[in-house]
DNA sequence: TCCTTCGTTTGATCTGCATCAAGGCAGACC
DNA sequence: GGTCTGCCTTGATGCAGATCAAACGAAGGA
């Protein structure tokens, strides 16, 4: 998720927000931020906990401070598809909608910064640039969703796995000190089953393809979750994406 | 695509827009509409024509007046995935982005109402409710994209076909005089190949599944494109969605 | 009129991934 | 220690949908 703060650069963190969240910290010391401060509150959740069930009333909107959450849809017979991955600074909830459309689950311990919906909406209508910021974020998410549609509809299992690893690797690389000279190293934040739900596969296929990428020397594994990518270009070759930009997430 | 005009009801059509388009006609006779009128212009395209190629410079945004257009992504080896279906009143283009991310193709003869991007963006920053309107539309599209991810990742070929037919049937029913007492009747606006690109299938599978639904009495076909649905509930049964609301498109 | 083209249907076969099944490994708890 | 539980791996088998191939019908053009 490329962070766009261009319109109000430089951005810095709120006093008591460990992570700046895009929807909130347009520019500290503005009136609207003060108002946001007045209506915000924090909530913590444990790994595995489902914060919101599809169909629940939603009386707040929120942004992720630390941890990872997922959005999933479930069919009557239990088939599940993950439709969103929420990383720190991502926004959940929809102004103008009363009922949640997806299950929201914490895959790691999670801290959310919440705003009661009513005051948030009032603030939104009185301070135009919040809507513009949200629009920009939503358009980014839409691009990511469409990239994901290509993956789900047309990529092979191996390409799906490579794509997911590349996304996680890239994100981790950008979070840490930039330009990792050598190997990219990261921990998978998802179980095999969650990866399967994300990719439209079964957990067995996920496991097999990860093993295959390991055997082919594309990645190295230490334990089940810790991944080393020595040659990022080789991994990108496996994704099926054209060499350059590609993923917007 | 549920049409939301609630915030400024009643909405009526612009003098020379045959179809009201959500982003534009908030309420006629407002200042911003007059300004929009000043920067808008129409363009027509023939069926099959590609209006915009992924990577092209985009110096305008637009909304569909009549006809149908598609957004597609293509992989290097030619695999294609449709990622959006643009119906009358839908919006194309992204304020704040210079380059198109997808191919945009007219599947029928098409009329677009265009706005040069620069003035549109200026107007957007001076008239807040345009951003709010666009946000609402974009959130709808995001919901649709996520519904589509479930389809692509987890539905069977038969369920995919039934879902697509149900969406088209429902849309047509809402465009025409509402509450069709008996059968729903419509023409497929897409070729088998386009349907395949939409659904993440091959055209042969699309053809076979349509034949199967016909044999099973779920739909009737007159010619290749004309579809009769006598029992909409029976069609919905085949989609795999839970009975009630479901699709947001 | 015939011929071509394009979209489509249908058949035969192949294959990638799902499914079913068994077992391994590490951490927690007794 | 032992055993339980959650997560993961690997093997054997089956099947939905892809692929390869042929042919049909309607529209259009010579």
CB of B192 within 7 Å of some strand D atom: no
pLDDT at B128: 76
> Does the pLDDT of residue A108 top 80, yes or no?
yes
pLDDT at B242: 80
Q: Whole-angstrom Cα distance, residue A54 to residue A71?
A: 10
pLDDT, tens digit, for every residue of B195-229? 999 999 999 999 999 999 999 999 999 989 999 99
> Residue B62 in 3-state DSSP?
strand
pLDDT, tens digit, for every residue of A119-163? 888 888 877 777 888 888 899 999 999 999 999 999 999 999 999
> Does the pLDDT of residue B3 top 60, yes or no?
no
For residues B168 and B186, the answer to whether their CB atoms sit within 8 Å is yes
Where do the domains of chain A lie, and which CATH numbers do they carry?
A: 6-150 (2.60.120.10), 156-237 (1.10.10.10)
In chain B, what percentage of residues exceed pLDDT 70? 79
pLDDT at B220: 95
Contact status of A121 with chain B (Cβ, < 8 Å): no
pLDDT at A188: 93
Q: Whole-angstrom Cα distance, residue A167 to residue A150?
A: 15
Higher pLDDT among residues B246 and B39, named by residue: B39
Gap from A107 CA to chain B (nearest CA, Å): 19
Chain A hits for B72, Cβ within 8 Å: none
Q: What is the DSSP letter of B80?
A: E
pLDDT, tens digit, for every residue of B32-81? 566 666 778 889 999 999 999 999 999 999 988 888 999 999 999 999 99
pLDDT, tens digit, for every residue of A30-66? 565 666 667 788 899 999 999 999 999 999 999 888 8
In angstroms, how far is CA A185 from the centroid of its own chain? 19
> Residue B211 in 3-state DSSP?
helix
pLDDT at A177: 53
Contact status of A2 with chain B (Cβ, < 8 Å): no
Gap from A44 CA to chain B (nearest CA, Å): 26
pLDDT at B174: 63
Gap from A148 CA to chain B (nearest CA, Å): 7
> Does the pLDDT of residue A7 top 90, yes or no?
no
CB nearest A134 (choices: B135, B199, B240): B135
pLDDT band for B173, please (50, 70, 90 cuts): low
Do the chains contact at A96 and B136, CB–CB below 8 Å? yes
CB of A108 within 7 Å of some strand D atom: no
pLDDT at B107: 94
Average pLDDT over residues B157-174: 90
Mean pLDDT, chain A, rounded, equals: 82
Of A76-80, A220-224, B20-24, B36-40, where does mean pLDDT reach its minimum? B20-24
Do the chains contact at A131 and B132, CB–CB below 8 Å? yes
pLDDT at B126: 78
pLDDT, tens digit, for every residue of A194-243? 999 999 999 999 999 999 999 999 999 998 999 999 999 999 999 999 76
Do the chains contact at B154 and A102, CB–CB below 8 Å? no
In chain B, what percentage of residues exceed pLDDT 90? 53
CB of B224 within 7 Å of some strand C atom: yes
Q: Whole-angstrom Cα distance, residue A4 to residue A8?
A: 9
pLDDT at B25: 47
Q: What is the DSSP string of chain A?
A: -----GGGPSP---TT-SS--TTT-SSTTSHHHHHHHHHEEEEEE-TT-EEE-TT-B--EEEEEEES-EEEEEE-TTS-EEEEEEE-TT-EES-TT--B-SSEEEESS-EEEEEEEHHHHHHHHHHSHHHHHHHHHHHHHHHHHHHHHHHHHHH--HHHHHHHHHHHHHHHHHHHSSSS-SS-EEEE--S-HHHHHHHHTS-HHHHHHHHHHHHHTTS-EEETTTEEEES-HHHHHHTT-S-SSS----
Mean pLDDT, chain B, rounded, equals: 82
pLDDT at A121: 87
> Does the pLDDT of residue B127 top 50, yes or no?
yes
pLDDT at A127: 76
CB of A205 within 7 Å of some strand C atom: yes
- Count CA atoms within 13 Å of residue A27 on its CB side: 9
């Amino acid at each position: 998720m490329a962070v766009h703060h261009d319109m109000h650069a430089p951005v810095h963190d709120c006093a008591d927000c460990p992570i700046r969240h895009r929807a909130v910290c347009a520019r500290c010391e503005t009136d609207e931020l003060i108002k946001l401060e007045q209506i915000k509150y924090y909530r913590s959740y444990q790994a595995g906990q489902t914060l919101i069930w599809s169909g629940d009333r939603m009386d707040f909107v929120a942004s992720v401070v630390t941890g990872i959450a997922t959005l999933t849809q479930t069919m009557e017979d239990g088939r599940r598809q993950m439709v969103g991955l929420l990383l720190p600074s991502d926004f959940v909830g929809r102004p103008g909608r009363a009922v949640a459309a997806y299950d929201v689950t914490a895959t790691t311990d999670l801290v959310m910064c919440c705003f009661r919906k009513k005051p948030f909406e009032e603030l939104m209508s009185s301070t135009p640039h919040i809507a513009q910021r949200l629009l920009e974020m939503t358009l980014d998410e839409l691009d990511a969703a469409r990239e994901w549609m290509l993956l789900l509809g047309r990529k092979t299992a191996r390409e799906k796995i490579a794509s997911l690893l590349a996304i996680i690797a890239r994100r981790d690389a950008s979070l840490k000190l930039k330009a990792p000279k050598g190997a990219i190293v990261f921990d998978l934040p998802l179980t095999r089953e969650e990866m399967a739900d994300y990719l439209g596969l079964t957990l067995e296929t996920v496991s097999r393809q990860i093993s295959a990428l390991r055997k082919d020397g594309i990645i190295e594994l230490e334990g089940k979750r810790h991944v080393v990518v020595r040659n990022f270009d080789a991994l990108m070759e496996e994704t099926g994406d054209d060499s350059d930009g590609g993923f917007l997430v």
